[in-house]
């Protein structure tokens, strides 16, 4: 199967899966008690039955479920995610306003986790009885078991309250004066604790997995052949063994992307980071159904596209899977 047909098949299945997620999300929100009319009435300070029925008529809530579903799917296909009743603006605009903050946090944390995790895994595999190898094992156990919000709170107490090195909350300090460099450095200071918090659990996973796969690869015949040819340890590790060891790590990184996105919700809440996670929490509290559905749809889109790109990246890195 050539690359073009493979990509076309993956894109088709991704579209079908995204449509299924869209229908499921809408159905679950429809089954929840209450509706948007109740939310609007509460924001108005209350309303009688006649006003509620008028609101439902105005927003199409009095139509049968299948009609509401088909109308919603049609709007989404035209890139219309609805209108936020709480924020009083289009959901698409809201999401794209908050998206950069979440992308900065998620991508930085994922890259940090991959780089540190792979380096720790490779080093511990080369020195299996050294202290680094034992540290990676203990760190993986701690990092995987510690809740991300608990880690964030501990870092806040330690490095924002007890030792005030980093800001307590937010993404920028509006009082900072200076040019682009000063503002960029201020952004970096605000990013340190949230990024470390979000990356901690994934550093543990990637380092442990890379260590295990690297140890397995180092025992294969072609590595022994490379050693017999007199290649240096660096060449064997980074030119031969690492490439094959990265395949499981890349696969896990793609599969864990959904966990990164969901973890960002907790991290953004702890650090008051102005991203999609904070928007989702506020929308749930306000019972802003269109915004909640829009965020769920966008999150599903990010995860599905991430898994698709992971599959393609795996085919590029590992020649053994290109023919499947």
Tokens 């020195």 correspond to 127
Alpha carbon 220 to chain centroid distance?
35
Q: What is the pLDDT of residue 118?
A: 84
Name the nearest CA neighbour of 215 among 112, 143, 116, 137. Answer: 137
Q: How many residues does this entry show for the chain?
A: 324
Q: Which residues contact 123 (CB under 8 A, 6 or more apart)?
A: 132
DSSP 8-state secondary structure symbol assigned to residue 236 = I
pLDDT digits (tens, 9 = 90+) for 154-212: 988 999 888 888 888 888 877 777 777 888 888 888 899 999 888 887 888 888 888 88
Helix (H) or strand (E) holding 157: none
DSSP letters spanning 160-195: IIIS--S-SS-S--TT--SSHHHHHHHHHHHHHHHH
CA atoms of 185 and 107, how far apart (whole Å): 18
Exposure pattern of 3-22 as b/e (b: 16+ CB <10 Å)? eeebeeebeeebeeebeebb
Q: Is 231 a residue whose pLDDT tops 70?
A: yes
Strands (E), 57-131: 83-84, 89-90
Instruction: Decide if 149 contacts 270 (C-beta within 8 A).
Output: yes
Q: What pTM value is reported for the model?
A: 0.76
CA atoms of 277 and 218, how far apart (whole Å): 42
* Domain layout of the chain by residue ranges: 3-89, 92-321
Helix (H) or strand (E) holding 133: helix 131-145
Span 94-121, average pLDDT? 87
Q: What is the pLDDT of residue 3?
A: 64
What percentage of the chain exceeds 70 in pLDDT?
87
CA atoms of 122 and 212, how far apart (whole Å): 9
Q: What is the pLDDT of residue 299?
A: 81
* CATH no. for 92-321: 1.10.3720.10
Determine whether 282 is exposed, middle or buried from the number of CB atoms within 10 Å of its CB (0-12, 13-18, 19+).
middle
Q: Which residues pair with 21 in a beta bridge?
A: none
Tokens standing for 277? 């996670």
Instruction: Decide if 118 contacts 246 (C-beta within 8 A).
Output: yes
Tokens standing for 108? 């930085």
pLDDT digits (tens, 9 = 90+) for 232-252: 777 777 777 777 777 777 777
Helix (H) or strand (E) holding 156: helix 148-156
Instruction: Decide if 277 contacts 269 (C-beta within 8 A).
Output: yes
pLDDT digits (tens, 9 = 90+) for 297-324: 888 887 788 777 777 766 665 555 555 5
CA atoms of 293 and 132, how far apart (whole Å): 45
Q: Flag the least confident range among 13-27, 78-92, 231-245.
A: 231-245
Alpha carbon 15 to chain centroid distance?
19
Q: Which residues contact 315 (CB under 8 A, 6 or more apart)?
A: 3, 6, 321, 322
């Amino acid at each position: 199967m050539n690359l073009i047909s493979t990509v076309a098949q993956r894109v088709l299945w991704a579209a079908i899966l995204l449509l299924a997620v869209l229908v499921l999300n809408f159905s679950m929100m429809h089954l929840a008690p209450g509706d948007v009319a109740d939310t609007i009435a509460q924001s108005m300070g209350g309303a009688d039955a006649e006003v509620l029925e008028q609101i439902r008529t105005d927003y199409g809530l009095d139509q049968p479920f299948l009609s509401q579903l088909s109308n919603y799917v049609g709007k989404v296909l035209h890139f219309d995610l609805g209108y936020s009743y709480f924020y009083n603006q289009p959901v698409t605009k809201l999401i794209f306003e908050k998206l950069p903050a979440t992308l900065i946090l998620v991508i930085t944390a994922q890259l940090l986790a991959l780089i540190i995790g792979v380096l720790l895994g490779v080093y511990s595999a080369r020195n299996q009885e050294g202290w680094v190898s034992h540290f990676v094992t203990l760190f993986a156990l701690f990092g995987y078991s510690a809740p991300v919000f608990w880690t964030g709170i501990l870092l806040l107490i330690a490095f924002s309250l007890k030792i005030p090195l980093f800001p307590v909350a937010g993404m920028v300090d509006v009082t900072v004066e200076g040019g682009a460099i000063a503002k960029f450095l201020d952004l970096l200071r605000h990013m340190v604790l949230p990024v470390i918090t979000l990356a901690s659990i994934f550093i543990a996973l990637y380092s442990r997995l890379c260590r295990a796969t690297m140890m397995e690869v180092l025992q294969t015949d072609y590595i022994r052949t490379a050693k017999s040819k007199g290649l240096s340890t660096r060449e064997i590790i980074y030119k031969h063994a690492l490439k094959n060891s990265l395949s499981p790590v890349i696969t896990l990184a793609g599969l864990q992307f959904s966990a990164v996105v969901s973890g960002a919700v907790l991290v953004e809440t702890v650090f008051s980071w102005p991203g999609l996670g904070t928007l989702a929490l506020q929308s749930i509290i306000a019972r802003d159904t269109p915004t909640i559905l829009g965020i769920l749809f966008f999150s599903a889109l990010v995860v599905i596209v991430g898994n698709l790109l992971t599959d393609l990246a795996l085919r590029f890195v590992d020649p053994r899977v290109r023919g499947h």
